[in-house]
Chains A and B, each alone.
Chain A
Amino acid sequence: KQEVTQIPAALSVPEGENLVLNCSFTDSAIYNLQWFRQDPGKGLTSLLLIQSSQREQTSGRLNASLDKSSGRSTLYIAASQPGDSATYLCASPSNTGKLIFGQGTTLQVKP
Chain B
Amino acid sequence: GAVVSQHPSRVICKSGTSVKIECRSLDFQATTMFWYRQFPKKSLMLMATSNEGSKATYEQGVEKDKFLINHASLTLSTLTVTSAHPEDSSFYICSAREIKGTNYGYTFGSGTRLTVV
Q: Contact residues of A with B, CB < 8 Å?
A: 32, 34, 36, 41-46, 49, 51, 89, 91, 93, 97-99, 101, 103-104
> B2-29 vs A: 1/0 string, CB under 8 Å?
0000100000000000000000000000
- Of A43, A51, A97, A99, the contact of B111 (CB 8 Å cutoff): A43
With contact pairs A97-B49, A99-B95 given, residues A45 and B105 touching in the complex (Cβ less than 8 Å): no
Contact A43 B105 (CB under 8 A): no
Bound state CA distance, A101 and B43, in angstroms? Answer: 8
Query: Within the complex, what minimum Cβ distance (angstroms) separates B65 from chain A?
Result: 22
Q: Which 3 A-B pairs have the closest CB atoms?
A: A44-B108, A43-B110, A43-B111
Q: Contact residues of B with A, CB < 8 Å?
A: 1, 6, 32, 34, 43-44, 46, 49, 91, 93, 95, 97, 103-111, 113
Bound state CA distance, A46 and B97, in angstroms? Answer: 12
Contact B49 A98 (CB under 8 A): yes
Contact A43 B106 (CB under 8 A): no
Bound state CA distance, A41 and B110, in angstroms? Answer: 9
Query: Within the complex, what minimum Cβ distance (angstroms) separates B45 from chain A?
Result: 10
- Of B43, B103, B108, B113, the contact of A41 (CB 8 Å cutoff): B113
Which residues of chain A have C-beta atoms less than 8 A from B49's C-beta?
Answer: 97-98
Contact A46 B103 (CB under 8 A): no
Which residues of chain B have C-beta atoms less than 8 A from A42's C-beta?
Answer: 110-111
Contact B43 A51 (CB under 8 A): no
Bound state CA distance, A103 and B107, in angstroms? Answer: 18
Which residues of chain B have C-beta atoms less than 8 A from A32's C-beta?
Answer: 103-105
Contact B43 A103 (CB under 8 A): yes
